[in-house]
Amino acid sequence: MSIGLYIHIPFCLKKCNYCDFISFPVSESKVDSYLDALEKEMELYRRELDSDDRVIDTLYLGGGTPTCLSGNSLRRVLEASRLFFNWLPDIEVTVEANPGTLDLPKLKLLRDEGVNRLSLGVQSFNPRHLVCMGRQHGVAEIREAVQMAREVGITNLSLDLIYGLPGQTLAQWQDTLEEALSLNPEHLSAYGLKIEEGTPWGELAARGKISPAGEDLARLMFDEVQKQCREKGYIHYEISNYAKPGYEARHNLRYWQTRPYLGLGVAAASYIDNKRWTNVSDINEYQQLLKQREKPVEEEIVLNLKDQMAETVILGLRTMEGVSLTDFKARYGKDLQAIFREETAKMISAGLLIIDNRHLKLSAMGLPIANIVFEAFV
Amino acid sequence: MTHANWQSKIRNFCIIAHIDHGKSTMADRLLEYTGAVSQREMSEQLLDQMDLEKERGITIKLKAVRLKYQASDGNEYTLNLIDTPGHVDFTYEVSRSLAACEGALLIVDAAQGIEAQTLANVYLALEHDLEIIPVINKIDLPNADPERVKQEIEDVIGLDASDAILASAKTGEGTQEILEAIVNRIPAPQGSVDAPLRAMIFDSHFDSYKGAIPYFRVMEGKLEKGMEIKMMETGKIFEVNELGVFVPEMVLADSLSAGEVGFLAASIKNVADTQVGDTITGAKNPAAEPLPGYKKAVPMVYCGLYPVETNDYEDLKDALEKLKLNDASLYYEPETSNALGFGFRCGFLGLLHMEIIQERLEREYNLSLITTAPSVIYRITKTDGEVLYVDNPAHLPEPQAIEMIEEPYVKANIMVPSDFVGAVMELCQEKRGTFVTMDYMTPTRVSIEYAIPLSEIIFDFFDQLKSRTKGYASLDYELTGYQASKLVKLDILINGELVDALSCIVHQDNSYHRGRALVDKLRRLIPRQLFEVPIQAAIGNKVIARETVKALRKNVIDKCYGGDITRKKKLLEKQKEGKKRMKQLGNVEIPQEAFMAVLQIDD
């Protein structure tokens, strides 16, 4: 069985005010020693994994901002992944990018290295919001980036947006959405802002200076995404994700369908053989361990059967297709409704879950308040 | 040595001080100086034993320690230091400790001066004819003003403070002078060793091996090991199997005679048989009369205690039984609430006592509890002439059946710097107080007396008093009796259902305001549910305020990718745990704090 490969690139031009991912200001020497470590990690796993598990059908370069690396560095990462793992012929290769870190030569290089999907972190089309968020680009750079991507022949383009920004009105969000969809991306992700501790916005929120949209406004904004996307022919296939038919993110679907993936790089997470593990989040420790040819793993959890089943349900319910009762039975030998009898009965009678075409899925009522459902299954 | 000679070398004393004025540290210095404990053994503030006491800096349980002191007159003296609780809830216990002594150290902070609680205890001590030795403590502080404090002691208490001892429990300064003053100024205990035994219990504790252990002062006669004793109040008879004193570790003795202080063990199953203030006499040659001053401990504040998990009921019952073994003043009886199921109505000496018991139940017995808002006992005269005492607002009869409601009143004495007189009077008026009198004890310190309903005191009175006087005010109160008031029962309906555990009794004039504030507070405490939940306040059948808890609109983890799964799952588990601690009323989940909401409303 093939796996998905995730590679974390923990560098950015500058960290955004709301971001709590592991990332550092980019510098050439730092990138070089990080890539050294990354290659050592690939080598470790090539030896450790069964040959089957070294076959990858999706590759995802995430960050940070992978595209803040030089063309040469990006080429180095992609080629190393080809060297240590076996790319399937129809592999989906996604690179996360920020407007302002792209130019035509870099995009051509990516295309030539096999990248066939670009996920562009756009976040907003409101210049003032972009400044407040600490983004290193304006609206013009967004359009430029999209245009360049098309020019080099990227036919699977995704845009990321955030709603519920402090002070953002519903009308402003409608405008951002319209602008994003007018660029005709194949895929769109829209996330409600969550203010995290330890970020500049987290500090401001703790002091009561800012707050994200309240629950009622956030709901209206969420409804708005669904409405506009539907009108433009996108399929709502996961809580926060929309795609033209056939353009669902294959790599990300792995997460929700509890299929295996290997995460490489600092703080990256993996899921193989019912084990979940996470790499150390300290970049120096990560590099040090790999110098000693040790796995940079911080935490490993072996999932028991009940955990596996619960995760299958909770993650599967994130997709609008839901959890296939047939697949569940095939995988675990038992009926989902027998294992989670009380939970499913309670949630169905509350109107939050439905069974449709042998799939258990969120109802329209359950979708925006799905945590209530998830809590029942954890 | 003859007994008379021995008795003449005994000094029984206690320490009167306001919280933070250094009572425990001073006791430590005395123990250290007399060699009862070496400095090395001295864990900070030895007399406060329970963790809870240490955390809160107050003394809950009394203890007695025997010290040996070689005085400058060449004689060795036996000093019994009897510790007293320093909180207004425990006034009766204080009075019993005082009754066991001939003298008291009055410790006053050299910077802060006299506080209401100190004053109340000094008056108690004077009532018991105690010799009072003023000690001005913390003279090492830069802002110490011993002369002003001396003047205050003379003006306020009327004691001669010219020979007040200047001390610092922190540095040890003045310790020897204090010990000399105890020997020279406090009289030796009176009481004939040949009279029939009369020993007064001033405290007790429960030992799981030896049973209830009373601490007592022998006033007359002699107690011996093996002797049959009788508790005069309960009439119960026990055989003394162990007799002893604390130095501070336990030392056994064969007998204790008039003037001495100690403990005994007699296989007493229940602390209720060793009631504070009771007199121990001999079963064979009993005294004719018990010692004066016995009072049964009467709870003043009541609340409902319910397990969050219904099947913890038995555990709660066991825990209360065990606590009751150690605390005769705790009262409880089973009650049922339609909202909360099976639980107990518990009675406490005061709010602090209530908080201590709650905390011990949660901490030591690992119980998750729902506490209903505290209530006092109301006296209801029904239209048919029947008189009821109601300690649970939910049990108030229908308004048509009530002729009159009376509520307990207290005499509240508040001491405060003169700058805050206005603030204090304003607060007392808001709390339905009636002004009684005001004294300028010094040009800058005022003693204010109000008659206030006890129910107002047990709300947030003390917190308000502290915050409005920047912490300078001190409060002492005592129950004076019942007075008729225009009171009504305020009911709360959640999703159309009356929640009995949220009913409270309020004054008619405040009822609209309280009702509005309460539903507003509940709206903020109750999380959004799947559907809209109306919250109403009603008096009788009339709804006087309404709020709505909105339905959940968006509650979903937006981002869940490879690296998020474990973390988000933990988040969901945590949220689920939080909900387990909520009480399910019909379809509505209500957090524990909601049942105390009535205490948290801002007037």
The ipTM, to two decimals, is 0.94
- Condensed to tens digits (0 to 9), the pLDDT of residues A114-154 reads 999 999 999 999 999 999 999 999 999 999 999 999 999 99
Q: Is residue A290 part of a domain?
A: no
Judge whether A320 lies within some domain: yes
Give which of A45, A13, A32 is closest to A283, Cα–Cα: A32
Domain span holding position A239: 3-256
Contact of B336 with chain A, judged by CB distance below 8 Å, is answered with no
Task: Give A159 to chain B, closest Cα distance, Å.
Answer: 15
| A237 and A313 both lie in a single domain | no
Q: Give whole-number Cα distances, B367 to A106, B339, B343, B363, in Å.
A: 63, 19, 13, 7
Same structural domain, A45 and A147: yes
> In this structure, what CATH number is given to the domain that contains residue A229?
3.20.20.70
Specify whether A330 is located in the same domain as A197. no
Q: Are strands B369-371 and B198-207 parallel, antiparallel or unpaired?
A: unpaired
β partners of residue B481: B409
Same domain, A236 and A118: yes
In total, how many domains does chain A have? 2
Contacts of B587 in chain A (CB under 8 A): none
- In chain B, the residue whose alpha carbon lies closest to the alpha carbon of A368 is B554
Q: Which residue of A has its CA nearest to B559?
A: A191
The pLDDT score that the predictor gives to residue B92 is 79
Q: Show residues of chain B in contact with A263, CB under 8 Å.
A: 562-563
Task: Indicate if A113 and A183 belong to the same structural domain.
Answer: yes
Q: Given A225, A256, A287, which residue is the final one in a domain?
A: A256
Cβ-proximal residues to B173 (8 Å cutoff; 6+ apart), any chain: B139, B140, B166, B167
pLDDT at B221 exceeding the cut of 50: yes
Q: Is A370 within the bounds of a domain?
A: yes
Angle ∠(A150,A151,A152) on CA atoms, nearest 5? 95
**B194: buried, middle or exposed (CB in 10 Å: 19+, 13-18, 0-12)?**
exposed
Is residue A31 a part of any domain in this protein? yes
Last residue of a domain, one of A221, A256, A291: A256
Say yes or no: A29 and A177 in one domain: yes
pLDDT at B207: 80
* pLDDT exceeds 70 at position B602: no
Instruction: Tell me the C-alpha distance between A31 and A77, whole Å.
Output: 11
What average pLDDT does range A239-263 have in this prediction?
97
Nearest to B530 among A219, A240, A350 (CB): A350
Q: Is residue A283 in some structural domain?
A: no
Query: Is the Cβ pair A270, B555 closer than 8 Å?
Result: no
| Dihedrals phi, psi of B595, to nearest 5 degrees | -75, -10
Distance of CA B229 to the CA centre of its chain: 30
Confidence of residue A208 (pLDDT cuts 50, 70, 90): very high
Give the DSSP letter string of B242-308.
Answer: EEEEESSSEEE-SEEETT-EEEEE--B--GGGS-TT-EEEESSS--SSPPTT-------EEEEEEES
Residue B275 has pLDDT above 80, yes or no: yes
Residues present in chain B in total: 603
For the segment B75-107, what is each residue's pLDDT rounded down to a tens digit? 999 999 998 766 666 777 888 889 999 999 999
Between β-strands B76-82 and B103-109, what pairing exists: parallel, antiparallel or unpaired? unpaired
The residues facing B535 across adjacent strands are B494, B547
Judge if A195 and A332 occupy the same domain.
no
Of A311, A352, A369, the CB nearest to B554: A369
Show which of A235, A256, A277 is a domain's final residue.
A256
Q: What is the pLDDT, as a whole number, of residue B601? A: 67
Instruction: Identify whether A87 is part of a domain.
Output: yes
A80 and A191 belong to one structural domain: yes
- This prediction has a pTM of 0.73
CA distance B450 to B473: 14
User: Does residue A285 belong to any structural domain of this protein?
Assistant: no
Q: A107 and A196 in one domain?
A: yes
Q: Are residues A220 and A85 in the same domain?
A: yes
Mean pLDDT of all residues belonging to chain A? 96
Question: Tell me, what CATH number does A321's domain have?
Answer: 1.10.10.920
B546: closest CA of chain A, how far (Å):
21
Q: Are residues A70 and A138 in the same domain?
A: yes
- Has residue B296 got a pLDDT over 60? yes
Mean pLDDT, rounded, of chain B = 87
Q: Is residue A181 included in any domain, yes or no?
A: yes
Q: Which of A6, A219, A269 sits opposite B553 (nearest CB)?
A: A219
